[in-house]
Structure 1
């Protein structure tokens, strides 16, 4: 969901380019759920995570705006990723307010070695015993800001999964086993191929819109887009402990769905303190999206805003997938926060050419690793001021073919200045002389929009796949 309480823009692939229309919102999801439950009285609903982060109201309340809304949906269980943005202690508070559990078989307390959350859940529906295994996103303590994982250790689930499958089958007598995972589609496929015995994988993290299930290791894998724009429905026929047939539909939560009146009233009341976000701050002729893994107009705009404010050789942001697109037309303040809801302070640092090369290779490995379990989530790092030619299919450490900074070949011994947002833009291990500028990125984007009416974004071609 990434925190989208109401209708928002979504982008769709069309024959001549991207097409935009409004989707989503919990009140419309509630209506669709009511219709589906009337048709299928034996049902279970799951949340794959990325729920308590992604929009300004959710970030400003550290997720507190959501539990009263989520508790109206009849969710059976969830797992997590960006939920840790407010710190592990805050997430425990939020989970205690929910009427369903957070499952994670791969998160441990560093001090005791004990699991931080329940790993599994056993439910009954249609006379069947359904075992659910949760796997949270394993990158939280590896690539996310340090405060996300204070006192916790995350694994990729490889060691844990087989034991839970065997226990649920043999001791808990589960007829069906579901993996509720926020590891990512390629990662889940790799896990399933090495761990037979799972019937269904409800995959998240990589924002795939799977219009039919993918089969891996005997399991049906579905993933249902992002931002709550879609609702995945998988209907199983089970005989003698075996899934013998299935149907699947990826429902678009379209604007034409009538919102549940009571829930919409609750949402509207919760959003009243954030009415100022509806201010129009500019206009754009370019659709601003993050649907492409190598450069995107949303972050080209973000980095151009940064460049206009802070002098540097290089500019960096993280390759985030989240953030509803901004369609051509008026731009609201809310739209800017959707791109970077935490409104981070702009920072500067100095990196050598050798460090820059290492940082880029590390990012490319995390995006395109030939081992899915080594992919660290997100897209290619968003940059301005450089041009890099690379081979995505090459082994780790050998993808970059040529790199240029400000039109000149990268010099490993030279020191370059960089401006960036968040530690994901320039990880702490790289560079020196880090400084805070006192400037924040939302204000920078707002100023840039005021100076460019309408906004037109041209590709920078910073990364070229060869």
Structure 2
């Protein structure tokens, strides 16, 4: 089926309301037009990232707070809502407006339906590959973690799905939380000869030997193309180091430049970095190394409609980020002439499940891997009364629900929940199933904790996380959002110096005292001792708490008072 036939099938089926469960024929036709992406040039790269093991279509709300600080204020990816629409000239109320922003989320979600799903993504990938000879499918990582089935199968469901999808190369982050032994098992057994697992910045601690291939060199339509891998640089800090005890990470700028030069010396006429750095880190990196034509980025879950062009000593590098949860597929076409990239086209395509038919073979695979777990996944723990989401710099309603449960069950005054950016969205009235709870909590270190913390320690924790998020130098940012806080109120000035961002901490209206001790509940500790003395997994604690309630609604969002960010386009008014 060629591109024209593919689009005709989408339009006819959508208008007829026969092939897809469309809610609005006009909306369906508009969404179908998104997939009219004519072939351009002779080098073709398809890119998805941060799907977090979501095999089925989901709802995923984009943030209303994504602040940029210093030189990054007001620049992509730090644009939300109307500011993003205006910057990229996206029509309000359109399918793309729903995909890229949080605006009118519940209404728009009911109109346009769910996004992602590997069976629907497979249909789009196959069509684009059919019109682009030799196209490579690149996976930016965070693929084997984020769902119940991925946790229970140790990522095997996603490994099998990636192979069926036709992934050509990938780079990792959360994959490492399955442990070094498991990662090596997949790379050496399942991926061998099929998927290039790339990470130029992962080395052994003892002799600094490369652990994985740094890059792969492929010929496409007569053009040598190099794909270099960049794993998440701060894996042993942001996640438990004991899971990868013998490996080092880091940005490895000098080594990256050496690899780029080596690939060019071997004849590469287009060189691309498949990165899991996070977009601000990629922008800085692009300004400091020469010879990269593009960085296809991930980690920070930013859906960025157009590349950022970054100047450096060697020319210009395009920097992109392709969102999360299987919600988008990036399409980068290069026209390579005279041994170098002469021009390009880029589209970040939302994957609307209602408007892309499910690929039959992938659909069968998904049903097969889920079958043993369907009953457990489908248990309705409680009915949700409001929009439940996670994404945002400071808090989300699903995070608030977890905080409420932690404080209630643990009898704590304060609760901390990690600022994870993964986790799907539930519309009002949907049942909170075990599967949806696991979408928020499925990690290999899920232990709950109760800790006696001094007021001084609480401030130190908040300051450390704030610096990780808001340090003006991206190389000191480690991804994720601000730790979610229950019970405690505070004020934050993101632009203040390190150690001076957090002020006015209060508990039930009274100032937090530096020398006083407070009972703090939490989960997901990175310290190894938690494996032995931590409490029950967070999903067990929350499932029990939810089962006691027929309906739930999180308490009003416990948000900090934010100073100095008035007018910042990364924060909704």
- TM-score w.r.t. structure 1 length? 0.94
The residue that corresponds to 2:484 in the other structure is: 382
Q: 1:345 aligns with which of 416, 441, 447?
A: 447
Q: 1:304 aligns with which of 395, 404, 407?
A: 404
Aligned residues: 459
1:246 to 2:344 alignment: yes
The residue that corresponds to 1:58 in the other structure is: 150
CA contact under 8 A between 1:290 and 1:322: conserved in structure 2? yes
Q: 2:389 aligns with which of 289, 297, 302?
A: 289
Q: 2:247 aligns with which of 141, 145, 152?
A: 152
1:409 to 2:511 alignment: yes
The residue that corresponds to 2:197 in the other structure is: 102
Structure 2 CA distance, aligned partners of 1:443 and 1:114? Answer: 41
Structure 2 CA distance, aligned partners of 1:42 and 1:243? Answer: 17
1:79/1:15 CA distance change after superposition, 3 Å:
closer
Structure 2 SS opposite 1:142: helix
Q: 2:432 aligns with which of 331, 336, 340?
A: 331
Structure 1 CA distance, aligned partners of 2:489 and 2:138? Answer: 42
Structure 1 SS opposite 2:457: helix
By relative contact order (CA 8 Å, sep 6+), the higher-ranking structure is 2
CA contact under 8 A between 2:60 and 2:389: conserved in structure 1? no
The structure that is strand-richer by fraction is 1
CA contact under 8 A between 2:378 and 2:433: conserved in structure 1? yes
1:194 to 2:282 alignment: no
Structure 2 SS opposite 1:387: strand
The residue that corresponds to 1:3 in the other structure is: 53
CA contact under 8 A between 1:63 and 1:94: conserved in structure 2? no
Q: 1:117 aligns with which of 186, 205, 212?
A: 212
Q: CA deviation at 1:68?
A: 2.5
1:89/1:440 CA distance change after superposition, 3 Å:
closer
1:178 to 2:272 alignment: yes
Structure 2 CA distance, aligned partners of 1:47 and 1:321? Answer: 18
1:463/1:59 CA distance change after superposition, 3 Å:
same
CA contact under 8 A between 1:366 and 1:375: conserved in structure 2? yes
Give CA deviations for 1:361-418 in whole Å, capped at 9, x if unaligned.
Answer: 1000001111001001100001112111010011222211221234321211112221
Give CA deviations for 1:108-162 in whole Å, capped at 9, x if unaligned.
Answer: 1112211111111111101111111111001111121123321111111322221
Structure 1 CA distance, aligned partners of 2:236 and 2:544? Answer: 34
Structure 1 CA distance, aligned partners of 2:353 and 2:534? Answer: 42
CA contact under 8 A between 2:240 and 2:528: conserved in structure 1? no
Structure 2 SS opposite 1:6: coil
**More off after superposition, 139-148 vs 204-213:** 139-148
Structure 2 CA distance, aligned partners of 1:14 and 1:106? Answer: 35
1:47 to 2:139 alignment: yes
Structure 2 CA distance, aligned partners of 1:450 and 1:232? Answer: 40
Structure 1 SS opposite 2:353: coil
Q: CA deviation at 1:63?
A: 0.9
Structure 2 CA distance, aligned partners of 1:115 and 1:215? Answer: 30
The residue that corresponds to 2:181 in the other structure is: 89
Structure 2 SS opposite 1:404: strand
Give CA deviations for 1:4-62 in whole Å, capped at 9, x if unaligned.
Answer: 11222222435445543311121111111111112211311100000111101001111
Structure 1 CA distance, aligned partners of 2:528 and 2:520? Answer: 13
Structure 2 CA distance, aligned partners of 1:357 and 1:346? Answer: 21
**More off after superposition, 11-20 vs 131-140:** 11-20
1:16/1:24 CA distance change after superposition, 3 Å:
closer
Structure 1 CA distance, aligned partners of 2:228 and 2:424? Answer: 29
1:230 to 2:280 alignment: no
**More off after superposition, 190-199 vs 69-78:** 69-78
1:294/1:428 CA distance change after superposition, 3 Å:
farther
CA contact under 8 A between 2:172 and 2:231: conserved in structure 1? yes
**More off after superposition, 453-462 vs 255-264:** 453-462
Give CA deviations for 1:173-205 in whole Å, capped at 9, x if unaligned.
Answer: 210000010000000001010112100111000
Q: 1:133 aligns with which of 228, 232, 239?
A: 228
The residue that corresponds to 2:365 in the other structure is: 266
The residue that corresponds to 2:558 in the other structure is: 461
The residue that corresponds to 2:499 in the other structure is: 397
Segments of structure 2 that go 5 or more residues without pairing to the other structure are: 1-50, 62-97, 564-573
The structure that is helix-richer by fraction is 2
CA contact under 8 A between 1:306 and 1:315: conserved in structure 2? yes
Structure 2 SS opposite 1:402: strand
Give CA deviations for 1:303-355 in whole Å, capped at 9, x if unaligned.
Answer: 11111101122211110001111222222211001010138232111222221
Structure 1 CA distance, aligned partners of 2:177 and 2:485? Answer: 23
Give the RMSD, CA atoms, in angstroms.
1.9
Structure 2 CA distance, aligned partners of 1:33 and 1:428? Answer: 41
Structure 1 SS opposite 2:304: coil
Q: CA deviation at 1:419?
A: 1.2
Q: CA deviation at 1:428?
A: 8.0
Q: 2:172 aligns with which of 56, 74, 80?
A: 80
